[in-house]
């Protein structure tokens, strides 16, 4: 919505949900039961080699079977211990023989791969003396894990994965299932053996390895909860993982089905492609959520934590048949995450999330771009938020008890198998003996968002009714509404209503709104005060001291905006505010620190002898060993002050080839801008004479475009 300002780091994305080629569907003919694999990971070589033993049975006569295996080399292929005819291409390996029905087989594959997707090797090229995070992690959704493990791109093929990893000594290895054995193989390699007892789809297989410590909690049902972190982030563990145990206990109670796996692990990794991923029993998430307490108000992990945890039931235990039914994963995970947040932050927060998403969905629908929840390639907004709204409305229509019973029956009946939307609808109708065809038509099949029904639901909240009444005054003259706004800020003020008041003051004559700004600041509500820092265009002198005091607020968004605007509008306080903020870093992207450096660099009041050190620090944040969010922020500031060094230009070139597509696209866009500048183009041409591929090839192509 127009007035929403809260920090948005990155949204969830749907990865790799291309339609599966049904002509290759072998799940009705072959049933893979289990794979036991031993995998050697060579992080410096960015390669893997392994041996995978598959147990399967033939359901009907076959002359061949296949396993997905992208760009792999096979040194041995044995069927029941004997060599067998096979062929392979860049996508899969085919085993060719006369398979007898109702018979079990064992297939052994020895393979080698240099995965270009799914397994990522972070900072293993960095010099030994560099104090950087060295990690290996995977992201397999929706059909990418076959880049490093021969497996199944078809999510309807579920089997038990027992995986053993051999990895460099001195690092922690985390994977799906229970760690049953850890032993030293030699002076440099440690072996980690994980076992599972329930089947899952291949896209949910995962591994993370790095320099991690661990905090172990226990749910009230005695399930181990393992929370991993790098030692450098030890003071961030509590705020980062805040409410994790509460989320676990709440969701298990609310869903009414016991947690379906033996343990639950969470691991932060650098440069992750998305916010988080719900691998079975193992959430891998972006380390940008490893925050301190000051960052909690703006960028906490609570929603992502709850969302990925809810997937352990909705997606991992019960899995969609294909992408057409993806809302059964994302809609459920989003809705139950909202319910968990409601338990933690209160009912107003819950209805605020509903209201925000309804505004977005209505805008999409009104623009003619609304989508059915059953559309194969629908947007994240549709699968996530519209899916959650569909469940919210269904609960209101059939009642909470019926809803819980239906969800419970749906999960238990379809445990460790695949489902379609009709399976859920059937569970609802069986639990309630009610006809929900109208709901199915309106909320699942219609492309338009049902705004009228959503509005009626929102008005069940007294807070939302008051908020919408206030929001209706956005275009009203301040002279007419100022008394109303004044009353809205009376104690105890609702923080969302208070923010709306502040945003409606933006652009108005500050002489007419001065008393309202003062009243908003005096609420001492962090979000309302943040709204002032973010939205006020021109700070009147009479508010100067109160505004500068916002630098003390426990919010890095507030600190950043206050520092910038105080410096721009009151240059005489530059030294004072820089002294006050010199020890603040901010989020992982160092939003406060980088702004502080730039102000020092461009301010004439600052001693010029200090500026080389400040520039060196700013310039150093583009290094390829650092998290991409920090690098992107540094690139942005260097562009603003036109101060790229040769190393920055090389770092930008590397960024344009980065594995994270958002950062990669940002770097490519910025690179193209620089190449339109004659000076920078000349510098890049000169640098190209010392380059090797792939940098040279990449730059040459950009120069030609």
pLDDT band at residue 2 under the 50/70/90 scheme: very low
Q: What is the pLDDT of residue 16?
A: 36
pLDDT digits (tens, 9 = 90+) for 119-161: 999 999 988 766 899 999 999 987 899 999 999 999 999 999 9
Terminal-to-terminal C-alpha distance of the chain: 37
pLDDT band at residue 527 under the 50/70/90 scheme: very high
pLDDT higher than threshold 50 for residue 311: yes
pLDDT digits (tens, 9 = 90+) for 65-80: 999 999 999 999 999 9
pLDDT higher than threshold 50 for residue 18: no
pLDDT higher than threshold 80 for residue 20: no
CB-based contact 451:393 (threshold 8 Å) = no
Q: Report the b/e string of 517-547 with b at 16+ CB within 10 A.
A: bebbbebebbbbbbbbbbbbeebeeebeeeb
- What is the rounded average pLDDT of the residues 526-536? 97
Q: What is the pLDDT of residue 528?
A: 98
- What is the rounded average pLDDT of the residues 56-66? 94
- Residue 577 tokens read as 């505010």
Number of continuous H segments (helices) and E segments (strands) in the chain: 26, 23
Within 147-281, strands assigned E span 158-168, 172-175, 178-184, 189-195, 200-201, 207-210, 213-218, 224-229, 264-269, 276-279
Q: How far apart are CA 559 and CA 383, in angstroms?
A: 35
CATH number for domain 474-643, candidates 3.40.50, 1.25.10, 2.40.160, 1.10.287 = 1.25.10
- What is the rounded average pLDDT of the residues 598-615? 93
pLDDT higher than threshold 70 for residue 43: yes
In this structure, of 18-27, 500-509, 533-542, 662-671, the range with the lowest mean pLDDT score is: 18-27
Q: Report the b/e string of 443-472 with b at 16+ CB within 10 A.
A: bbeebebbeebbeebbeebebbeebeebbe
Q: Please give the angle made by the CA atoms of 585, 591 and 595, to the nearest 5 degrees.
A: 95
pLDDT higher than threshold 60 for residue 5: no
Residues whose CB falls within 8 Å of the CB of residue 479, separated by 6 or more in sequence, listed in order: 512
Helix (H) or strand (E) holding 602: helix 591-602
How many residues make up the chain in this entry? 705
pTM: 0.95
- What is the rounded average pLDDT of the residues 394-407? 98
Q: What is the pLDDT of residue 25?
A: 78
30-211 homologous superfamily:
tricorn interacting facor f3 domain (2.60.40.1730)
pLDDT higher than threshold 90 for residue 21: no
Q: Please give the angle made by the CA atoms of 592, 594 and 598, to the nearest 5 degrees.
A: 115
pLDDT digits (tens, 9 = 90+) for 185-204: 999 999 999 999 999 999 99
Question: Among residues 248, 143, 295, 274, which one has the least CA distance to residue 205?
Answer: 143
Q: What is the pLDDT of residue 141?
A: 87
- Residue 163 tokens read as 């995986």
Question: Among residues 290, 308, 307, 309, which one has the least CA distance to residue 299?
Answer: 290
Sheet hosting strand 264-269, strand order edge to edge: 213-218, 224-229, 264-269, 282-286, 276-279
Q: How far apart are CA 630 and CA 655, in angstroms?
A: 12
Q: What is the pLDDT of residue 511?
A: 84
The CATH fold of domain 318-460: Neutral Protease; domain 2 (1.10.390)
């Amino acid at each position: 919505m127009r007035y929403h300002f809260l920090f948005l780091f990155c949204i969830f994305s749907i990865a790799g949900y291309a339609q599966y080629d049904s002509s290759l569907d072998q799940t009705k003919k072959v049933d893979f039961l289990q794979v036991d694999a031993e995998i050697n990971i060579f992080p410096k070589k960015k390669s893997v080699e392994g041996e995978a033993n598959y147990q399967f049975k033939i359901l009907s006569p076959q002359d061949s079977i296949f396993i997905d295996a992208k760009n792999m080399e096979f040194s041995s292929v044995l069927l029941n211990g004997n060599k067998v005819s096979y062929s392979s291409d860049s996508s899969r390996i085919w085993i060719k023989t006369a398979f007898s029905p109702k018979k079990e087989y064992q297939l052994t594959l020895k393979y080698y791969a240099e995965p270009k997707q799914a397994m990522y090797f972070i900072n293993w090229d960095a010099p030994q003396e560099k104090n950087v995070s060295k990690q290996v992690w995977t992201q397999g959704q929706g059909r990418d894990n076959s880049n490093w493990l021969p497996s199944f791109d078809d999510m309807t093929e579920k089997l038990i994965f027992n995986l053993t990893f051999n990895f460099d000594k001195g690092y922690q290895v985390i994977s799906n299932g229970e760690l049953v054995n850890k032993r030293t193989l030699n002076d440099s390699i440690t072996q980690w053996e994980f076992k599972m007892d329930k089947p899952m789809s291949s896209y949910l297989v995962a591994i993370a390895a790095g320099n991690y410590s661990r905090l172990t909690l226990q749910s009230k049902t005695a399930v181990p909860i393992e929370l991993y972190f790098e030692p450098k982030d030890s003071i961030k563990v509590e705020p980062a993982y805040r409410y994790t145990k509460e989320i676990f206990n709440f969701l298990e109670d609310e869903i009414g089905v016991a947690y379906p796996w033996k343990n639950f692990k969470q691991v932060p990794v650098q440069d992750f492609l998305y916010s988080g991923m719900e691998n079975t029993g193992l959430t891998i998430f972006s380390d940008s959520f490893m925050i301190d307490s000051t960052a909690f108000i703006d960028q906490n992990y609570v929603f992502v934590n709850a969302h990925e945890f809810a997937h352990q039931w909705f997606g991992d235990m019960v899995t969609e048949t294909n992408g057409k039914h993806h809302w059964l994963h994302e809609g459920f995970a989003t809705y139950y995450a909202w319910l968990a947040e409601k338990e933690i932050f209160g009912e107003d927060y819950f209805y605020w999330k509903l209201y925000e998403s309804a505004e977005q969905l209505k805008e999409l629908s009104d623009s003619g771009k609304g989508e059915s929840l059953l559309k194969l390639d629908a947007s994240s907004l549709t699968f996530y938020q519209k899916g959650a709204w569909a469940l919210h409305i269904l609960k209101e229509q059939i009642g909470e008890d019926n809803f819980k019973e239906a969800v419970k029956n749906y999960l238990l009946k379809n445990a460790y198998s695949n489902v379609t939307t009709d399976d859920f609808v059937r569970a609802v109708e069986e639990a309630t003996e009610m006809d929900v065809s109208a709901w199915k038509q309106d909320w699942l099949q219609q492309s338009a968002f049902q705004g009228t029904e959503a509005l009626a639901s929102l008005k069940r909240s007294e807070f939302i009714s008051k908020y919408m009444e206030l929001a209706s005054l956005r275009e009203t003259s301040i002279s007419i509404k100022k008394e109303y706004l004044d009353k809205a800020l009376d104690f105890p003020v609702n923080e969302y209503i208070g923010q709306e008041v502040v945003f409606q003051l933006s652009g108005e004559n500050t002489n007419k709104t001065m008393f309202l700004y003062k009243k908003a600041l005096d609420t001492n509500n962090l979000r309302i005060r943040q709204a002032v820092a973010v939205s006020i265009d021109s700070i009147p002198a009479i508010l100067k001291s109160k505004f500068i005091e916002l630098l003390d607020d426990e919010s890095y968004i507030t600190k950043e905006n206050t520092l910038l605007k105080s410096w721009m509008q009151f240059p005489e306080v530059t030294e004072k505010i820089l002294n006050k903020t010199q020890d603040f870093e901010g989020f992982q992207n160092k939003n406060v620190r980088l702004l502080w450096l730039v102000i020092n660099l461009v301010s004439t009041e600052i001693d010029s002898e200090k500026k080389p050190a400040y520039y060196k620090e700013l310039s150093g944040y583009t290094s390829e060993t650092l998290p991409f969010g920090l690098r992107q922020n540094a690139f942005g500031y260097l562009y603003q002050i036109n101060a790229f060094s040769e190393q920055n230009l090389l770092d930008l070139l590397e960024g344009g080839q980065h594995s994270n597509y958002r950062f990669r696209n940002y770097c490519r866009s910025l690179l193209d801008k620089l190449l339109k500048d004659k000076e920078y183009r000349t510098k890049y041409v000169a640098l190209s004479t010392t380059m090797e591929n792939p940098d040279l090839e990449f730059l040459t192509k950009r120069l030609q475009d």
